[in-house]
Amino acid sequence: MTKKVILIADDEPQLRLLVRTTLEDEDYDIYEAEDGQQVLEVAAQISPDLFLLDNMMPILDGIAVCKALRANPKFCDRPIIMLTAKFQQRDIEMGKAAGVSYYLTKPFSPLELLTLIEEILT
């Protein structure tokens, strides 16, 4: 069984580090992106099994990245977890419409994230 590939996108390095640390004991290939543009570039190369996107990112925000991924037949059914500080109903609806699979509100518990990821990928 090949390793599942996860792409983490956040402009805050310490958050990327947090997610990486959370998942380091599991058997995942983890890639990082600093902004939305990078997500699309990296994704084209590595074809991740799961996207972990921050909503507020430079250049392209999480919603825009979501839309772009869903528009691509290659990624149209890949799970996307949105890590967001936005918790308003409106934002969530917008996210759902853009194709977000799961929402995780900051600050999240690493355990919670881990559980969710395992649930998705098994």
Partner 1 sequence: MFEQLLRFWFRLPIRSKGTVVIALPVLCLAIAIGISILLNRRVELAEQEVQHTQEVRLCSEQILRLLIDAETGVRGYLLTGDAEFLSPYYSAKEELLDLVDGLEALSQENPSQLPRLQAISEQVDRRLASLQSNIALLQSSNGSLTLSADGEKLETLIRGKSAMDALRNNLREFIDVEETRLAKRQQTLDQERALSRAALWLAGGVGIVGGLGANYLYTISIVRRIHGLQRNALLVADGEPLSEPILGEDEINRLDQALYATADQISQKQTWLQTANLQIAEAARKEKALLDNSLDVICSIDGEGRFVEVSPASFKVWGYLPSELIGRFYTEFVVPDDVEKTQAIAAEIVAGKPISGFENCYIRKDGSRVDIIWSASWSATEQLMFCVARNHTERKEVERMKNEFVSTVSHELRTPLTSLRGFSEILLRKSCSPEKQRQYLTIIQSESKRLTHLINDFLDLQRIESGRQNYDFAPLDLVPLLHETVALFAGANELHLFRVEVADFLPEVKADGDRIRQVLSNLVSNAIKYSPEGGEVVISAVQQEALVQVSITDQGIGIAPEAMTHLFTKFYRVDNANTRKIGGTGLGLALVKEIIEAHNGQVWVESELGRGSTFFVTLPQAVQVPKTLVNSHYPSATIDILLVEDDTAFTELLREQFGHTNLHIVSTAFAEQALELIQQHLPRLIFLDILLAGEMDGWDFLITLKGNRQLASIPVVVITITEPNTRGLVFNGAEYLPKTVAPELLKQAIQHHLPHLAGKVLLIVDDDPNFRQQVIDSLKTGADVQFVEAANGRQALECIRHQLPDLLILDLLMPQVDGFEVLRQLRSDRKTLTLPVLVMTGAELTLAEKAYLKRGLATLVSKQSVGMEDLIQIVEQTLGVVGRRE
Binding residues vs partner 1 (CB under 8 A): 11-12, 14-15, 17-18, 21-22, 25, 35, 55-59, 83, 85-87, 105-111
Backbone torsion region of residue 39, taken as left when φ is above 0, otherwise alpha when ψ lies between -120 and 50, otherwise beta: alpha
Tell me the pairing of strands 80-84 and 102-105: parallel
**Least Å from the CB of residue 43 to partner 1:** 20
- Smallest distance from partner 1 to CB 2, Å: 26
Nearer to partner 1, 14 or 45 (CB): 14
Q: Are 80 and 69 in contact (CB under 8 A)?
A: yes
Two structure tokens written together for 39: 């997500």
Closest to partner 1 by CB, 12 or 119 = 12
